[in-house]
A and B are shown apart, each in its own frame.
Chain A
Amino acid sequence: MEELALHILDLLENALAAGARHILITIEEDEGRDLVTIEVRDDGRGMGAEALQKAVDPFYTTRATRKVGLGLPLLQATAAQCGGDVFLESRPGQGTRVVATMQLSHPDLPPLGDMGATIAAALSREEPVELVYYHRRGQKEFKFSSTWLQLHLGEIPLNCGPVLDWVQRYINKGVAELYGGEGK
């Protein structure tokens, strides 16, 4: 994938497919440790020990429409190529935690990319999901909570164009400020 944000959307789609009602995305960029850590936690149906072992195997998938599952193997490949790794932790009925690490200064590290579009895409659905995105870069941090937004909107559903368009612009503005405002 060309952006970290596209890998993250993939993780969000896995969480949503597992029936998650709550999702927490954390990105931490630590220049001192030369490390970027991406974590997605969900409270979906989770995986047993055996499924967990196989999850990064491209020939393992519980999907019915195709014989390979690509999301996790692609993330694993990107992490490995950038001097990092992927850790999975999961319990049936409790949820799943995926942590990917990469070397921040690695020349192959994909750009963060369009986090606004990623979050808006994940929120474009009828079934409600409470999603929190927390991003820390050095001393600066940005946080977005769909719960806060839904409270603010009241009876208006999140999944209408003007609202989700606002979400993508709002997040991209917030993330740009983490980078000193010079863009994504």
Chain B
Amino acid sequence: MIKSLEELQKIKETQLEAIRLREADQKAKIVVGMGTCGIAAGAREVMSAILDELGKRRLTNVAVTQTGCIGLCAQEPLVDVILPGKPRVTYGKVDANKARQIVAQHIVNGIVISEWVVNRGEE
């Protein structure tokens, strides 16, 4: 327990430092679809892998959120990535492994993994 709390304290300090360094509106955003069929298709494992990857890389400037069903069942699990100033990119049939690569390529390097994209927002 004590070790966990020390760890939390460290995360808090890194996070505060990040808040000091950046403007609030420069945040990247990841959205995972969490309707029942999303969950049944593995959306929670996808979310869990994204959190693990962000945690390991200490990426503090990414907001992680969820959305309910968007009626694209056949493509679940769905993950949206929105980089600051860029249109929304939606990935379909994501699994834990793809989710980690989306963090590494798209979030970290800004490179869209086109073959998994099922939809793109307006420019």
Q: What is the interface of chain A, defined by CB distance below 8 A to chain B? A: 1, 6, 9-10, 13, 17, 63, 65-66, 69-71, 74, 114, 116-118, 120-121, 124-126, 149, 152-157, 159-166, 168-170, 173
Contact = CB atoms under 8 A, between A and B. Distances in A.
B37 A161 contact: no
A74 B45 contact: no
Contact of A162 (B15, B36, B44, B66): B15
Interface of B: 4, 7-8, 11-12, 14-16, 19, 32, 34-37, 39-40, 43-45, 47-48, 50-56, 58-66, 68-71, 73
A73 to B, nearest CB: 10
Given A152-B8, A162-B55, A164-B64, A120 B48 contact: yes
A153 B69 contact: no
A17 B36 CA distance: 12
10 contacts: A63-B69, A65-B68, A120-B48, A124-B51, A155-B19, A157-B63, A159-B63, A161-B62, A162-B60, A165-B52
Nearest to B72: A65
Contacts of B62: 160-161
Query: Chain A's interface: helix, strand, loop or mixed, by majority?
Result: helix
Given A156-B19, A170-B4, A162 B64 contact: no
B63 A6 contact: no
A156 B44 contact: no
A109 B25 CA distance: 46
Nearest to A159: B64
Given A9-B34, A160-B15, A165 B51 contact: yes
Contacts of A161: 50-51, 53-55, 59-60, 62, 64
